[in-house]
Amino acid sequence: MQAFFAPRGVVIIGASLNPSKLGYGAARNLVVSGYLGAIHFVNPRGGRLFDRPIQPDVASVPDPVDLAMILIPGPLVPQALEECGQRGIRAAIVGSGGFRETGAEGKALEDRCREIARRHRMRILGPNCIGLLDTHLPIDTTFLPLPGPIPGDIAFLSHSGAICEAVIDWARGQGFGLSRLVSLGNQMDLTEADLLAPTAADPHTRVIAMYLEGVGDGPAFIREARKVMREKPVVAIKVGRSQAGREAVASHTGALAGRDAAYSAAFRKAGVIRAESSEEMFDWARALAWCPLPRGRRMAVLTNAGGPGAIAADALEANGLSLAALSDVTRAVLREQLPPAASVRNPVDALASAGPAEFAGCLATLLADEGVDGVMVILPPPPMSTAAEVVGAVIPMIRSSPKPVVIALMGEDLIMQAARLCRQARVPDYRFPERAASSLGALVTRAEQLVASEAVAEAAMRPHKEAAQRILREADPGADGFLSATAATELLAAYGARVPKQRLARSPAEAAAAAKEIGYPVALKVSSADIPHKSDVGGVALGLAGEGDVAEAFRRVTESARGAAPEARIEGVLVQEQLPAGIEVIVGMVRDEQFGPLLMFGSGGVEVEGLNDVAFALAPLSREEAVELMDRTWAGRRLRGTRGRPPGDREAAVDCLRLLGQLALDVPEIAEAEINPLRVFERGRGAAALDVRIRLQDGQR
């Protein structure tokens, strides 16, 4: 990777004398960038370009050269790579198009290039990319129009070359710079995961921003991002969020998960902060690069107008933050600094007459309050002074403060000089309070990431792989891959889950005998892998307390199920012990093709899809990760106890989540699994899986 980011020499293969060609643009940018290494050009037509000779072929290029930028027609790229390999060049950027993105023929061409690269132990960036640049080395291998980005501290990795071009121009207009920019293209070889560590190692990079259309290797991305995020924050936008085209699945978990839920769970697992828009991503990146991290979520607002303060209060709450309760001492000092009509409660309204002295004094007072973790300064153009004068007065204390301060400069023409001062001083400025609040939220997220536990789920779980494999060998799944209710329950129980006592009965007499053995009261549930939602077909009977009740219920639930689902295979009825009442939740797993087992937790029972109170996380889960997953749902918060109801046994729910994740990791044959409901009893009394469904992957049946 050193050859990409600090090459001793670069060759442009396809350099052109024609200013309308990409080969001319790449040569121009490399020369103009100020790159101090050797620069070589190759084109069979020869000539001179930018006062340098154009060599006829790669073999003629003198030393040193360890990076090639290839900009020639796609069909000619394999030969160029072969020549680079023979020349000893081990790093190449393929900017040419016409590969996998064009169809089967292009894919075959790409496969051929990959084989050549592997044979020569060569690393490839692209194809179909615009190259990379580093503003500090400096080097620019792109063919983008000039001027390029100003030097800065935000690195940008992108699947889209067009986005790179737009970001460079936009960043210049917004007054912030980039440290590095890398266009990934088709990722024939190098992926976003490969680029994370070398980008984070760059001393000039403080934040990594990413535009992603997908992830080449899910586990590798998570692994590399988890390493990197401890040193440098990673912010990403992932496009293509819709579930259109996702293969239908039979469980609630699969129906509710969707592809985007897997990416959100992967980012959370990896410590990547996910933005909703490109603007938000760079808003956050600037704050993360330039601000200290807050100790908590309590924010103060300082403004010269009441309306913007109200907007800020709403925006802070929307981002999970709170208005700090100012101390009596703070309010007393603020009263001394401001007119009697000013508001010294948070948000602090210094009134329109406030100038540089008032803003500076109030900001110093707020930052000194131990109950304040960060400050948002809101500044519409002040009538009695200029915004630049106010900003000039507060910048020194912002730069020296251990607490973050962001500024919402509301306006356009009248605040431009103030905005320039902010950017020169590396103080984040935004046009509206909502964007400033969002950036404070990102700072809090980053701070909480760094203090989160690093516990690893596997270390605390006892595997039961042998028992699970035995159950699978003896099971006889249906054509759709679903295990019988008995086999599914046994598989879950093998990993330590509590399940009700139950027996499979194939006649009313067997059901009555099973009920007597289990002990009354009992519940009856029709047993059929073809009926996912038994209540919908009248296939459940509860609270049965006698032999006659059980026999009659057997006939009733089987007849009802056959009438509602005549094609379903009904193997009998499960007779289960009737457990005490509790809080019913759903715990599920669907295997994502990119990231592996995706766990779900949320409100269970018959209304799970209607409520849509669910959250997702990737296995394995530490205890802390399981708790955080649960707390993102109303069901999880309900287990803490609500409105006089006693708390549920949250630890039992945590254990169930973790064991299901471990089961999914240990038994890759499982495509999806669901416990609905998991009945959680009062604290200290555990939880029980009342209904379990498990489907095997295709080819495992």
Identify the residue with better confidence: 248 or 43: 43
Secondary structure class of 583 (helix, strand, coil): strand
DSSP collapsed to 3 states, 214-269? CCCCHHHHHHHHHHHHCCCCEEEEECCCCCCCCCCCCCHHHHHHHHHHHHHHHHHH
Instruction: Identify the CA nearest to 69 among candidates 195, 185, 151.
Output: 185
Domain co-membership, 589 together with 514: no
pLDDT for position 689: 94
d(CA 648, CA 582): 8
Q: Which of 101, 129, 157 is the last residue of a domain?
A: 129
Sequential DSSP letters for 612-665: --EEEEESS--HHHHHHHHHTSHHHHHTT--TTPPPB-HHHHHHHHHHHHHHHH
- 70 DSSP β-pair partners: 13, 94
The answer to whether residue 250 scores a pLDDT higher than 90 is no
Q: Are residues 112 and 31 in the same domain?
A: yes
CATH number of residue 33's parent domain? 3.40.50.720
| Enclosing domain of residue 650 | 454-499+580-701
Q: Are 285 and 237 in contact (CB under 8 A)?
A: no
- Residues composing the chain: 701
- Judging by beta carbons within 10 Å of its beta carbon (0-12, 13-18, 19+), is residue 1 exposed, middle or buried? middle
pTM score > 0.85 for this model? yes
Give the chain's domain count: 4
Q: Is the pLDDT of residue 247 over 60?
A: no
For residue range 338-357, list pLDDT tens digits in order: 999 999 999 999 999 999 99
479: its two tokens: 């054509």
Question: Over the stretch 512-528, which tens digit does the pLDDT of each residue have?
Answer: 999 999 999 999 999 88
Q: Check whether 478 has a pLDDT greater than 80.
A: no
Q: Which of 105, 129, 153 is the last residue of a domain?
A: 129
- Secondary structure class of 388 (helix, strand, coil): helix
- List the one residue out of 215, 228, 225 whose CA is nearest residue 187: 215
Helix (H) or strand (E) holding 598: strand 596-603
For the ranges 180-194, 566-580, 605-619, the maximum mean pLDDT occurs at 180-194
Q: Which of 85, 110, 129 represents a domain boundary (last residue)? A: 129
Position 457 pLDDT exceeds 70:
no
100 plus 7 within the same structural domain: yes
Distance CA 84, CA 96 (A): 16
Task: Based on the fold, state whether residues 295 and 344 are members of the same structural domain.
Answer: yes
The predicted pLDDT at position 458 comes to 43
Quickly count: other Cβ atoms within 10 Å of residue 197's Cβ: 14
**Residue 300 forms beta bridges with which residues?**
375
Which residue from 76, 69, 66 is spatially nearest to 120, judged by alpha carbons? 66
Take residue 597 and report the two structure tokens written for it.
């087992």
Q: Are residues 472 and 598 located together in one domain of the fold? A: yes
Percent of the chain with pLDDT over 70: 95
Assess whether 481 and 533 both reside in one domain: no
Q: Is residue 574 domain-shared with residue 584, that is, in the same domain?
A: no
Q: What is the pLDDT of residue 175?
A: 87
